[in-house]
């Protein structure tokens, strides 16, 4: 009830020592968290920049290969249908 004695608006409680300590620890934790997130983000960004083109090419190659394979199997199937069913 000691907080009520000081005339303050109701939505602005005066922080006690415990509140301040909690606030400090929270801030510290957030700082660490943000730092870690930043680092992760940076790493992921650089990795993505390096990897994007190769990933794209890989998919392109895979697509072409799949087309070739299906074409080959299609041809084989017309020649001997039971083997490639």
Q: 1-55: per-residue pLDDT in tens?
A: 555 565 655 666 666 777 778 888 888 888 888 888 777 766 665 555 555 555 6
Does 81 have pLDDT greater than 60? no
pTM for the full predicted model: 0.32
Residue 44's domain comprises 17-79
> What one-character DSSP code corresponds to residue 9?
-
d(CA 16, CA 6): 13
Residue 12 has what pLDDT? 62
* Under 8 Å between Cβ of 73 and 84: yes
CA-CA distance, 59 to 51, in Å (whole number)?
Answer: 12
Is residue 21 within 8 A of residue 11, CB to CB? The reply is no
**pLDDT for 76 beyond 80:** no
Domain assignment present for 10: no
54 in a domain, yes or no? yes
Domain count, the chain: 1
Task: Answer whether residue 85 is part of any domain.
Answer: no
Rounded Cα–Cα distance for residues 7 and 52 (Å): 60
In a domain, 65, yes or no: yes
């Amino acid at each position: 009830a000691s907080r009520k004695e000081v005339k303050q608006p109701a939505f602005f409680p005066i922080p006690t020592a415990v509140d301040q300590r909690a606030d400090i620890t929270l801030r510290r934790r957030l700082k660490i968290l943000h730092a870690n997130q930043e680092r992760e983000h940076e790493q992921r960004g650089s990795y993505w920049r390096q990897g994007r083109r190769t990933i794209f090419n890989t998919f392109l190659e895979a697509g072409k290969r799949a087309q070739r394979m299906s074409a080959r199997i299609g041809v084989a199937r017309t020649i001997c249908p039971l083997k490639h069913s």
